[in-house]
Amino acid sequence: MNPRFAIPLDEVGISAVRAQGAGGQNINKVSNAVHLRFDINTSSLPTDVRERLLKLGDQRISRDGVVIIKAQEFRSLEGNRAEALRRLQAMIDSVAVLPKRRRATRPTRSSVTRRLEGKTRRADIKAGRGKVCE
């Protein structure tokens, strides 16, 4: 179960820019790539989700807490706009779920014994590889 937080479009800044890469003469005329900017600190997301999003070690999040996503996969502005919003939603959804707390466990006695026996067996094999002295 993954809770989704709806992002109000008035909190997202979207601007059209020229795409990089090959495209012939058309690339010099049209601005089909999209730069999406989303300020985490002033957003309407819940506080715990905002904190986890800021702690996320993602290169798309600036030091000021602004998510910057560039989408230029499609030839149309609408397709790139939808792709940028999808990526932002996926980033927020990844931190929306509270991670499970790890419970400390200990290996069983038999698994420790098996591991040590395997190490001893391997050491005997390697010890037998040396030069034979007469």
Count CA atoms within 13 Å of residue 32 on its CB side: 17
Output the pTM of the full model: 0.64
- Specify if 91 maps to a domain: yes
Q: Which domain holds residue 15?
A: 9-96
Residue type for position 100? K
- Specify if 104 maps to a domain: no
- Specify if 126 maps to a domain: no
Q: Give pLDDT, residue 109.
A: 96
State the CATH number of the domain containing residue 42: 3.30.160.20
Maximum separation of any 2 CA atoms in the chain, in Å: 86
Q: Read off the pLDDT of residues 98-132 as tens digits, 9 standing for 90 and up.
A: 878 889 999 999 999 999 999 999 999 998 898 77
- Specify if 89 maps to a domain: yes
Number of domains composing the chain = 1
Distance, CA of 125 to chain centre: 44
Q: Give pLDDT, residue 111.
A: 97
Is a pLDDT exceeding 60 seen at residue 76?
yes
- Specify if 125 maps to a domain: no
Q: Give pLDDT, residue 10.
A: 74
Q: Read off the pLDDT of residues 9-47 as tens digits, 9 standing for 90 and up.
A: 777 788 777 777 666 666 666 667 888 888 888 887 878
- Read off the pLDDT of each residue in 1-9 and give the average, rounded to a whole number: 66
CB-CB contact of 23 with 90 (8 Å): no
- Specify if 75 maps to a domain: yes
CB-CB contact of 18 with 31 (8 Å): yes
Q: Give pLDDT, residue 1.
A: 43
Higher-confidence position of 85 and 10: 85
Distance, CA of 102 to chain centre: 21
Higher-confidence position of 71 and 112: 112
- Specify if 38 maps to a domain: yes
- Specify if 87 maps to a domain: yes
Higher-confidence position of 122 and 96: 122
Rg (CA), the chain: 26
